[in-house]
Structure formats: structure tokens, C-alpha cells
Chains A and B, each alone.
Chain A
Amino acid sequence: MLEIFQYGFALRGLVAGVIIGLIAPLIGIFLVLRRYSLIADTLAHVSLAGIAIGFLLNVNPIMTAMISTVLSSVVIERLRISKKVYGESALAIFLSGSLALAIVLISLAHGFNVGLLNYLFGSIVTVNQSDLYIIGILGALVATVLFLFYKELVYITFDEESAQVSGIPTRTINTWLIVLAALTVSLSIPIVGVLLISALMVIPVVTALQFRQSFGVTILIGELVSLFSVVAGIFTSFYLNLSTGGTIVLISLAIFVVSLGFKKR
């Protein structure tokens, strides 16, 4: 029998991984097509500050990560709409600002460095039972909201101005998208880690785009690539004793490189 299933933590990690593997490309496709891939990376750094706050206050770091990413995502979107700063500058400000905050918080409280390392690079060991519940519930929430706004999101992503003219509440839906992205980032952190989460949202989608298929089929391919990378990554890292997040991302990258050869034009 497969040894991996004898360990509770490994099984929890696998379940959490599958949930994240399903959600990440669903959000990712909208971010990638709107040239907003970097938002995932920015939110990941914000969540690092959130995690540091969690450690400092001794509460579940996923919860603090979630709150800080959701709040920041709304502020980033406001800044972008207000045109006071360029969209990408808003991202850069939040990325470096939250990283700075995280570092200062970490230096304030010594001694939690090992746990933090797991959050940086992801490890299936990190996922405890209450994390799994949070990931499960939020994952279901993200999937449900995406499903409800699916057709509007597709329209806005393709042609925001026309969508607005046809009476679709583009602003509300844009805010939802970025909040969902924030939730997805924070719940993915235990598995893939802060530094690698954006890869899981972006690489499977970019891979799927190489096949030039319909929107529906593209999502399906992205899901398959993502799920395969997550499951294969968890197994490989378990047996070869490698970093989970790193292995997952490397596997998805390998699939992406292969997909480049398939490109038909």
C-alpha cells in the first residue's frame, strides 16, 4: 500500500492540495488574461505580513493572512480605479511595503523562524486539521462566487467597455474577482508557500492558452495541468523528501515547456 496514506498530515496535505489545485487556475485565467498576473504575487507578499501578524498575536496565521490580503486587495483596486497611481505601481507599493512590514514583524519576535520557513516555501506538514476546514470552506466559497459571476467575468475580461455599456456592474464584479484572488492566495499558502503561489495561478493557465481552444476547454486544460502538478508534486516531494511547493511549481513548469511545442497557429 502507498506509504503516504499512512500519515495523517500527508493525507491532509493532499486533500488541501487538490482543493487549491482546482481553485487556482479558475481565478488565474481571469488574472492572466487581464494582464494582472502580478496581483497574485503581490497578495502573496501581503499574506506574508499577515502570517507574521498571526505568529505575533498567536492566532491561526491563515486567518490573519486572509484578512490582510482581502483588505489590501480592495485598497489596491481602489487605487487603480482612482488613477492616482498606475495599476502596476500600486502592486509594487504593496509588494515591497508588506514585505518590509513582514521583515520588521519577524525581527520583533524572534524564535518562530522554522514555522515561517514552511509558509515561505510551502510544506504539506504545515496543514493541520483546522487549516483543512478553512481551506475547504473558503475553497467552496471561491468556487461558488466564480460560478455565479462566470459569464460576466468572461465578458469583462474580453471587453470591459462593452460589458459596461450592456449594463453589467463591472466595478462590483472586478472587486469580487480581486477579493476572491486574495482568498485563494491566502488559503494556498500552507501548501505552495508565499513565494510560489502565483506560479500555481499563472503557469497552468498559460500552458492551457497554448492550445488555442475555447474559453471552457482552456479552463479544463488548466485544471488538468494544475491538478496533475499538485498531486504529482506532493507524491514526489513526499518520497524524495523535497520541498512541496518547489516540486509542484517545477512539474507545472515542465508541462508548460512541453506545451510550447504543441502551439498551433
Chain B
Amino acid sequence: MPVDHTQNIIEIEEVSFAYNEDLVLEKVSLNIHKGDYLGVIGPNGGGKTTLIKIILGLLKPSKGVVKMFGEDIHTFKDWTRVGYVPQKVINFDVNFPATVYEVVAMGRFGKIGLFKNLRKEDKKIISDSLRQVEMYDFKDRIIGDLSGGQQQRVFIARALAGQPDVIFLDEPMAGVDVQAQDQFYHLLKKLNHELELTLVFISHDIEAVVNEVTEIAFVNRALTYDENPKKFVKSEMEKLYGDKKFIHHHNHA
């Protein structure tokens, strides 16, 4: 059954953001619907990371309104509904003493709350999340000993363990080799289709993302939104470069 893509889960209205005097985002509006697989693309420094940090509550917008699941972000408390996969593979400590299982367990902590320990059902969810990304057999390995692609799947499992409604992925392909990338895209598609999980995929690699996502937002101080990523990127590129064939075939069958 196709997902109803009309229900707004995140609403951004006329959001502006400035670092000191520098305007990074200007009157940006965007609706993220339930079941979307949204690609957020744009040049580095164009403001896409800033936009995501605002949505995640890590930065406060200078102007505008952000609503999470209908509630204003200033009063929103239910952060466990939001999963986050940071740009981790390239900047995390490979000597950190944690097993894959310990890392995925962290994804439950927000849900359990302070002063409480993992219960039996939490442990089951952690194991299920590991199976979901096909990393259960690696659960006792030290996270730093895995390949970039495997680490990234562990971080997905950590986000899944929180049982969120939406997962934000910040440049998740950084430090992941090409073969593992294909596997990774396949996994994301599966999560989006089978679990009806809303995904927000932040990337500067337009080519790769455009074949995967179902909605696209191009951020470069202003925001342009389109529900046909391929057509959108093609027409944008034609505007920039004339009608030279720019988009390579990059199918993930």
C-alpha cells in the first residue's frame, strides 16, 4: 500500500538564520511529510547543515517557525521520535572502547530516560535493529575495527533502536567505499518502503542522491523544493550548463 504523503510531520515556515551578520538561510519554507524520502542537496556552505541543525534543535533560527509533529520546536519534547545519523565515519575515534552492541544500545537511552537501565524489551529492540541492518553477527566487535560501510550501518541501527518516525542522515556516504554505498542505498530504500520510515538524506553529491530519493530540496541560502528529483536536477543543470548531458546513469538495481 502506498504511503500517504500528505501528512506533515515537520513544517518549516520562513526560517532565516545568520551567523553574525552573514545570512546563511533566507526565508526558507519546507514541509516534510510522513513516508517521504527527502534529499537535501546544495553546495557546501549553502546552508543545508544549518537547516538540519535548526530542525534538530541544535541551532535556534533567527526568524521563522519550525514545527515538529505539529508542535512548536521550542516546546517540543518528544525528541525520541527523531533519529539522527551524524557524519561520523570520518570523524570518530577508532580507538573508542565500545562494541557494536554498546553503540546501538545508546539509541535506546533517550527513550528509557535518566536513572533507568536497559530492560528485556529494550535488548530485544537493540537486537532487532542490528538484524535489520544485517549487523547482528558483529555485535561483539569493537566499532573501530569495522569498515566504514559497516560502521555506518551500525549508526543506522542505533537510530532505529530509538524507534523514530523520521531519521536524518548527514552526508552518510562520507568515508564509505562505492560497493558499500550501493548496499547502503538498498538498505535505506527498504527502511523507507517496508517500515514506512521518513528519511531525510543530506548530501552534496547530487548525482548519487537524485536516483534514490522521492523528494528533493535544493538549499543555497534559499530553498527550492520538487517532488520529481530527476526532472528537477536535469532542468537545473540545463539552466546552468546548457543542455549538455550531465546526469550519468547511476542505477541501483
Contacts and interface: CB of A to CB of B under 8 A. Distances in A.
A213 interface: yes
Contacts of A209: 95, 97
A215 B97 contact: yes
Contacts of A214: 97-99, 102, 140, 142
Contacts of B99: 214-215
A152 B109 contact: yes
Interface of B: 56-58, 77-80, 82, 84, 86, 88, 92-93, 95-99, 102-103, 105-107, 109-110, 112, 114-115, 117, 140, 142, 144-145, 158, 162
B114 A167 contact: no
B110 A215 contact: no
Contact of B145 (A166, A212, A216): A212
Contacts of B110: 163, 166-168
Contacts of A33: 93, 96-97
Residues of A in contact with B, size category: 20 to 34
Given A155-B106, A166-B162, 12 more contacts: A151-B106, A152-B114, A154-B98, A161-B58, A162-B84, A162-B158, A165-B58, A166-B84, A167-B79, A214-B102, A214-B142, A216-B102
Interface in A158-205: 158-159, 161-168
B88 A159 contact: yes
Contacts of B96: 33, 158
A166 B115 contact: no
Given A159-B92, A165-B58, A215 B80 contact: no
A5 interface: no
Given A151-B109, A212-B142, A165 B93 contact: no
Nearest to B140: A214
A165 B95 contact: no
Given A151-B117, A214-B97, A214-B98, A166 B86 contact: no
8 contacts: A164-B58, A165-B57, A167-B77, A167-B79, A208-B97, A212-B95, A212-B145, A214-B99
A165 B78 CA distance: 10
Contacts of B105: 151
A9 B218 CA distance: 72
Contacts of A159: 86, 88, 92, 106
Contacts of B58: 161, 164-165
A166 B114 contact: no
Contacts of A167: 77-80, 110
Q: Which 5 A-B pairs have the closest CB atoms?
A: A166-B110, A167-B79, A218-B97, A165-B84, A155-B106
Interface in A16-66: 33
B126 to A, nearest CB: 13
A229 B248 CA distance: 63
Given A168-B110, A212-B142, A154 B102 contact: yes
Nearest to A214: B99
